Amino acid sequence: MKRNTSLRLSLFTKLVLLIASFSIVPLFAVIGIFIWIHPYALWQGILAMTAISTFTLAGAFIFARHLVKPMQALMRGAERISHGDFSTIVQVNTLDELQDVAQAFNQMSEGMRHFSEVRVDEIVSEKAKTEGIIYSSEDGIILTDQEGHVQLINPKATHILNVTEESRDALSGRPVWSFVKDDRLAVALRESVQGDRPKAARVINLSAENVRRFYSLAVSLVNAPEGSSMSYWIVLVLRNITAEKELDQLKDDFLQSLTHDLRSPMTAIRGYLQVLSEEMAGPITAEQKKMLNIMENASTKLLHIISNLLDSAKISAGKLKLSLTEVDLRQLAPPTVEILHAEAAKKKITLTLDMPEMMAPLKIDPSLIERVVVNLISNAIKFTPDGGFVTVKFLDLKDRIQCQVADTGPGIPPEFLDRMFRKFEQVNGTRGGTGLGLSNCKNIVEAHYGEINVRSKAGEGSAFTFTIPKGLEQNERGDVFRIRPSESTASQAA
């Protein structure tokens, strides 16, 4: 404000001086010449100069004020608009260009006022819609800052958190977990908010005696409002997934009972097939032997499916236990790959095993790792067209063993790559299988503290790679843990 005033005074002074200089200087020059010609009229000349100067300055002052006043009015109007007052009207009646500028200014002010009213109506409408969605949602929604202080909470969230309606207004500004009575929920909320990066999602078991309750807690970040000292706020969404969990439990219980009931008779069938194939029960013809081979291959596939179902049931129930044994992979891998040579030969697929001549012994659960390799090779054969290639390659790296199963199939669509290792997930258009094989592979590999991933490109095939770290150990309780090279070196040095 002060800077604008000084500018206006400076402009006014300049106008006065400019007008005065154009008026006074010529007159002073004429009077000076007159005095030089008539020296006796010196005092009359001085009085004339004084009078002329006085009248000229007064006229310049009035004229300059007349010019500057409309500009001052425009500047005051612009200042009011900058503070959000769009009702400003500037009155200028100079009948010149300044009046045209003032009229344009008033039209701009009116347009901005109309736009502001429209925007306010839109904002109010959008705010009402947003609040309607949030407050009528069946999911609990909580908005907090980075410290967990509540900024917004809907009625469903207060119900889930067991907060009374009377104390709801007192929640604002308090950490969300500070008023939660259930410790399990309070810990989950605190862990979801605190830390370097909030955890994206988790499942919270709030079951009590004879009552099952499960909630999913999803976390997302939003930009903090302007003026906030924090860079982002956090949205917490609590959703009741008890029905989904009960359905999954029923499905797992069914799979577990089904696989137990199927495994025993399938084992008996395979045993008698072996007795017949080896002619222990009497001689058989070549045609009968061919039929028995077909039956044995079919039973092998069925037993493979049953094993996947049983593994999935164990994993879901948390009963998958490893039995670590020191294994030479050069002894384990060839027979495992050999099992699938007959299946590959039916499609004239070249199945190749590539292993280094020497590999360090590795502590693993051999039956489970064998199942992972069989699953990956079976999938590769299944999706590779006739006459293609499937390559199984092992590498002995510094701190881990790596196995890759690559094929020359059609590849996996990009939209399925992130979902390949989920339960019951299959690429559209495929038939056969349970959709559990890759999910089980992932769980088995991760139980060994390893990693599994897939790389695929349309028309160029796929490559599934898993790694198992070296240095795995198992205690008396069956817990598996990893001793890193640095740890073992330190213990030896000690």
195 and 227: one domain?
yes
The Cα–Cα gap between 266 and 246 comes to: 30
Pick from 44-48, 212-216, 361-365, 368-372: least confident: 44-48
Check if the beta carbon of residue 315 is closer than 8 Å to that of residue 440: yes
**Backbone φ, ψ for residue 345 (5° rounding):** -65, -30
414 and 337: one domain?
yes
Query: Quick check: is 126 in a domain?
Result: no
The Cα–Cα gap between 478 and 318 comes to: 13
Pick from 53-57, 75-79, 398-402, 477-481: least confident: 53-57
Q: Residue 249 has what pLDDT?
A: 76
* Nearest CA-CA partner of 190 in 138, 240, 144, 231: 144
Query: Quick check: is 256 in a domain?
Result: yes
Query: Quick check: is 86 in a domain?
Result: yes
Query: Quick check: is 385 in a domain?
Result: yes
Question: 237-287, pLDDT tens digit by residue?
Answer: 898 888 888 887 777 777 667 766 777 788 888 888 888 888 888 888 888
The Cα–Cα gap between 84 and 101 comes to: 21
12 and 160: one domain?
no
375 and 453: one domain?
yes
- The CATH number linked to 430 is 3.30.565.10
For residue 125, pLDDT over 60 is answered with no
The Cα–Cα gap between 307 and 367 comes to: 11
Question: Which parts of 62-181 are beta strand (E)?
Answer: 140-144, 150-153
The contacts found for 417-424 with CB under 8 angstroms, 24 or more apart, are 417/454, 417/456, 420/454, 421/452, 423/312
306 and 331: one domain?
no
Amino acid, res. 23: S
Instruction: Work out the number of other CB atoms within 10 angstroms of the CB of residue 312.
Output: 25
Counting Cα atoms < 13 Å in the Cβ hemisphere of 148 gives 18
364 and 481: one domain?
yes
376 and 405: one domain?
yes
- The CATH number linked to 291 is 1.10.287
Domain closes at, from 320, 341, 364: 320
Alpha carbon 86 to its chain's center:
42
Query: Quick check: is 123 in a domain?
Result: no
Structural domain that includes position 79: 2-114
Check if the beta carbon of residue 232 is closer than 8 Å to that of residue 151: no
Section 43-55 average pLDDT = 66
60 and 23: one domain?
yes
Query: Quick check: is 297 in a domain?
Result: yes
Q: What is the pTM of this model?
A: 0.49
Check if the beta carbon of residue 356 is closer than 8 Å to that of residue 333: no
Query: Quick check: is 25 in a domain?
Result: yes
Q: Give CA separation, 104 vs 116, 218, 260, 431, in Å.
A: 18, 53, 87, 73
Q: Residue 405 has what pLDDT?
A: 96
328 and 399: one domain?
yes
Section 437-446 average pLDDT = 88
Domain closes at, from 320, 336, 352: 320
The Cα–Cα gap between 332 and 206 comes to: 45
Helices (H), 163-213: 183-193
* Nearest CA-CA partner of 70 in 109, 48, 96, 52: 96
336 and 465: one domain?
yes
Query: Quick check: is 127 in a domain?
Result: no
Check if the beta carbon of residue 88 is closer than 8 Å to that of residue 81: yes
Q: Is 143 helix (H, G, I), strand (E, B) or coil?
A: strand
Question: 447-474, pLDDT tens digit by residue?
Answer: 899 999 999 988 889 999 999 999 899 8
- The CATH number linked to 206 is 3.30.450.20
pLDDT band at 3 (very low <50, low <70, confident <90, very high): very low
Count structural domains, the chain. 4
Q: Give CA separation, 491 vs 90, 361, 470, 483, 487, in Å.
A: 86, 21, 17, 10, 6
Provide the token pair at 291: 């039929």
Average pLDDT value for the chain: 77
For residue 314, pLDDT over 90 is answered with no
449 and 459: one domain?
yes
Pick from 143-157, 258-272, 425-439: least confident: 425-439
390 and 460: one domain?
yes
For residue 10, pLDDT over 50 is answered with no
Domain closes at, from 210, 240, 270: 240
